[in-house]
């Protein structure tokens, strides 16, 4: 199992938004960029405009779990920010996972080399 650390600092998120490669899925937008570390760092963003705190936290849990279970499909040494879209509010886990994997497939930086 790969080691994944959370992105917490505002400047780390900003760097990915401005310099990262982005791809969009139905429920998620992925921003990613290579880092010089040997492990991945994950950040999650769910806007307060989407829903109340309970629903936002549920969305974050679903994305975190979808990432955790599919972590081997991501390349090593990347910084990754997942931004939830409005459609993620009422989505099931299967829909979120499918959207995440489809967006990953389109993103050449984040997709693991096979």
Per-residue pLDDT tens for 78-110? 999 999 999 999 999 999 999 999 998 888 777
| CATH class of the 4-106 domain in this structure | alpha beta
Confidence at residue 112, expressed as pLDDT on a 0 to 100 scale: 65
- Summarised one tens digit per residue, pLDDT across range 16-66 is 999 999 999 999 999 999 999 888 999 999 999 988 999 999 999 999 999
Q: How many CB atoms lie within 10 A of CB 1?
A: 6
Indicate the domain borders of the chain: 4-106
């Amino acid at each position: 199992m790969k080691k994944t650390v959370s992105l917490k600092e505002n400047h780390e998120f900003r760097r990915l938004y401005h310099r990262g490669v982005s791809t969009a899925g139905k429920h998620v937008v992925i921003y990613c960029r290579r880092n010089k570390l040997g492990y991945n760092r994950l950040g999650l963003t769910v806007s307060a405009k989407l829903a109340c705190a309970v629903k936002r936290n549920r969305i974050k849990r679903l994305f975190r779990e979808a990432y955790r279970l599919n972590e081997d499909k991501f390349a090593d040494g990347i910084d990754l920010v997942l931004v939830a879209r409005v459609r993620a509010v009422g989505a099931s886990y299967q829909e979120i996972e499918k959207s995440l994997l489809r967006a990953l497939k389109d993103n050449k930086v984040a997709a693991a080399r096979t």
